A = this chain, B = another copy of it.
Amino acid sequence: MTKHSISKERFLEVRHQTELICKSLQAEDVSIQPAEFVSPPKWHLAHTTWFFEQFVLSEYKAGYKVFNDDFAYYFNSYYNNVGKRVMRAERGLMTRPTLQEVLDYRAYVNTQLSEFISNGTSEEIFNIIEIGLQHEQQHQELLIYDIKYIFGNQPSFPVLDYKIQLQAENEPQEFLQFKEGVYQIGHKGEGFCFDNELGRHKVYLHDFEISNQLVTNSEFIEFIDAGAYNDFNHWHAEGWDYVQNNKLEAPLYWHKVDGTWMHYTLNGFVEVDGDLPVTHITFYEAYAFAQWKGMRLPTEFEWEVASPQFNYGQLWEWTNSAYLPYPNYTKVDGALGEYNGKFMVNQMVLRGGSVATSKNHCRPTYRNFFQPDMRWLFSGIRLAR
């Protein structure tokens, strides 16, 4: 993390963006939790606020009075160091506080933190606020995933009034070539980054080629039509079991209606556009698709080295790298140390960023990570060989 201060305007702009995403939600929409990995939108709105209250205002603002003594218990996510909390699976039980009370909570903390920023503070504290803003932007993306899951799993398929739109990549497909050798990996320079990107270090890569394009819906429909979901040869053993047990036969939100592939998007239930990149697929499917093509997924290191030469940022791209610490990775002390390190097992790295990602998060060293069976995120496939 670098030396900097944060303007009140930037703070409020990030905060406002969260509310913008939720502006067309009804109060009925914000409390439910249709799966354990989904959080109610109201919870995101409150939790991101609690983060600033807990780690900045309560710690550093003289005479700060917490908005509601119970909220720390309700809206802590997974910071065991900070005390007891409502279990993840029970977030969807809290119909109260109401949406309006949570919006009042946001306004209160915004006012208090704006005032605190205006008075100036130390670099250390600015760095915590910076993490809070980055954290809120991460939750903005999760909010979009969760709203899509809430809307995409009910029979009326509601529309969200917030622009999320994939684009066709219209250049001719090409495989970019890279030579073997020692490369530098990890974050450098001035901008913000998370602890898991740090420890810039060398890796040795061998010759590889990587596509300049994401895999499209058309290509994925070919995979489906070739019966690949029913041919174990393309799959990890665990992926094959997963696909069989959960009866996967297409990406999430896809439904075949009268012979045509339709899917739910946040803009409604529409026909699948073959030119757009395929999304909402698990790592298992990304891997199987590559196997079926006779290719493979890139490692996260190959991806990072090659990324300056292609466009990215539409979809998080599954790599074939497990999420593991870089050499000399060090966990931060205290609650913020729980941010990344403790997730470094049984997850796969995704690189790039998506249409739901805050633009300042789309940097070549950003390491996103999910379990290989997750598909409610905006995930995609880029091939290597």
Copies, count: 4
Residues of B within 8 A of A229 (CB): none
Measured between beta carbons, the chain B residues less than 8 angstroms from A26 are 27, 95-96, 98
A204 at the interface (CB under 8 A from B): yes
Total residues of chain A contacting the partner, CB 8 A: 65
Cβ B372 vs Cβ A346 within 8 A: yes
Is B93's CB under 8 angstroms from A236's CB?
Answer: no
A278 within 8 Å of B (CB atoms): no
Would you give the shortest CB distance from A383 to chain B, in whole angstroms?
A: 15
Q: Mark A319-346, 1 if CB is under 8 A from B, else 0.
A: 0111011011000000000000011111
> How many angstroms from the CA of A114 to the CA of B328 in the assembled complex?
54
Q: Would you call A32 an interface residue if the criterion is a C-beta within 8 Å of the partner chain's C-beta atoms?
A: yes
Point out the residues of chain B lying under 8 angstroms from A99, CB to CB: 27-28
Q: Would B155 and A73 count as touching, CB distance under 8 A?
A: yes
**Interface residue A60 (Cβ < 8 Å from any Cβ of B):** no
A285: shortest Cβ distance to chain B, in Å? 12
For the complex, what is the distance from the CA of A239 to the CA of B97, rounded to whole Å? 32
Q: Do B150 and A95 have beta carbons less than 8 Å apart?
A: yes
Which residues of the other chain, B, contact A32 by a CB distance below 8 angstroms? 31-32, 92-93, 95
Residues of B contacting A342 with CB < 8 Å?
Answer: 235-237, 240
Q: A26-B27, A208-B327, A238-B345 are in contact. List 14 more A-B contacts (CB 8 A).
A: A27-B98, A28-B28, A28-B96, A28-B98, A32-B32, A78-B237, A81-B233, A95-B150, A235-B342, A236-B343, A236-B344, A322-B322, A345-B372, A346-B372
